[in-house]
Amino acid sequence: MNSRCPSCTDSPLLIAVSYDPAHFRCGYCGGESFSFNSFSERLGEYFINRNIQLLEMKDYSHGLNCPRCNEQMLTTRPCQTYSRQERYGVLQPILPHWKGWSEPLEIQNCHHCMSYWVAHDQIKRLPAISLIEDDKYVDEGEPSLHDELITLFTATPSIQNVKETAGSSTYTWVLSGICLMATLAGKHLTAQQFGFVPSHPFKNHGLNLFTSLFLHGDTGHLVGNLLFFVTFGRHIEKRMTSDQFLALFFFSGLMGHLGQFLVNHDPDIPGIGASGAISGVIVYFACMFPKAMIYLPVTPVFRLVIRPQFKAQTFAFVWFTMEYIYGLLFLRESNVGHFAHLGGALGGLLYWVMADKEQR
């Protein structure tokens, strides 16, 4: 499609970041063109029917030329206020109090090619693109030898059947880079100065609640965390906005601190690491992709007695249970913050429940 933007006529339309190949965006003004199917999935049947009613009642004005067929479009201003449980889409708001539109949404309708144009100032008020259950997975069969070797040597689970999308995973890598730089600067950023201390939870005016998430005790701690974070985080960030992904990361991290604050054997020992935040990311992944197959790093000998693949929801449940058992058995002996992991995991689950009730 080599059409020009109807709002700023000199700009070509580009394929937008979406699973829908008929979804286009203007790189200059930010307006977007939708097919009927993608727009229906994004807004829901009720809203689409209301918009059609306005067209049938001739409650419209003449608008711009369609970027697809160049016919004049019709401008409608449907308005709907509904609860979050009734809306379509995934994680539109960070907070759960969003109630819908309070004023009409302006839409350009093309009745010739059944497409829609939405200006940039209206785009931010649309619900996020919904995830179709069958569209989230692909049948990849058994993992290849290459995948098995990478999984084995990195000791990190791999994900086999989640469909790759064109979304951005920028902040997965940005947060990983900050963790790397903070750990390399460990001589200047010590755990005592910048770690989370349960006996002084708001040390440095609360700054330690966040700096502690990026510090790690050693290379093994850092690499292990980042491998898990990249493995799971990049898939969910591609289906969220940047703000939502950052909110998930920090909310889970703070919940991890709460877990360490409530259950610890020495409140003066500082806690560092992104494990709590990453635990939340793992649980959120399991909620978003319950049927995803997780391939575990098992040696060929153990493959004779252990099946190395589990569904994501099973993997999350078993991992959570093991963390709880280890936390009870080795609370005093271990320097691993098992209850920080559990707190972060509960944070990821709570974030899913708050921001995505209609998906349950």
What pLDDT is attached to residue 176?
92
What pLDDT is attached to residue 88?
35
SS (H, E, C) the chain: CCCECCCCCCCEEEECCCCCCCCEEECCCCCEEEEHHHHHHHHCHHHHHHHHHHHHCCCCEEEEECCCCCCEEEEECCCCECCHHHCCCCCCCCCCCCCECCCCCCEEEECCCCEEEECHHHHCCCCCCCCCHHHCECCCCCCCHHHHHHHHHHCCCEECCECCCCCCCHHHHHHHHHHHHHHHCCCCCCHHHHCEECCECCHHHHCHHHHCCCCCCCHHHHHHHHHHHHHHHHHHHCCCCHHHHHHHHHHHHHHHHHHHHHCCCCCCCCECCCHHHHHHHHHHHHHHCCCCEEECCCCCCHHHCCCCEEEHHHHHHHHHHHHHHHHHHCCCCCCCCHHHHHHHHHHHHHHHHHHCHHHC
Q: Which residue has the higher pLDDT, 332 or 31?
A: 31
For the chain, the average pLDDT equals 76
C-alpha–C-alpha distance, residues 68 and 23, integer Å: 11
**Region 344-351 average pLDDT:** 93
What are the pLDDT digits (tens) for 145-164? 555 555 555 556 777 777 76
**Region 252-264 average pLDDT:** 89
Q: Which of 118-122, 134-138, 171-175 has the lowest mean pLDDT?
A: 134-138
What pLDDT is attached to residue 18?
55
Tokens 């099946």 sit on residue: 307
Residue 172 predicted with pLDDT over 80: yes
What pLDDT is attached to residue 199?
85
What pLDDT is attached to residue 312?
86
**Region 278-292 average pLDDT:** 90
Which structure tokens are listed for 19? 């699973």
Residue 138 predicted with pLDDT over 70: no
What pLDDT is attached to residue 124?
64
Q: Where along the chain do its domains lie? A: 13-123, 134-359
What pLDDT is attached to residue 99?
37
What pLDDT is attached to residue 109?
92
What pLDDT is attached to residue 57?
85
**Region 101-106 average pLDDT:** 62
C-alpha–C-alpha distance, residues 352 and 333, integer Å: 33
Residue 14 has a CB neighbour count (10 Å cut-off) of 13
CA angle 100–103–106, rounded 5-degree value: 100
Q: Which CATH number fits domain 134-359: 3.30.230.70, 1.20.1250.20, 1.20.1540.10, 3.30.1330.40?
A: 1.20.1540.10
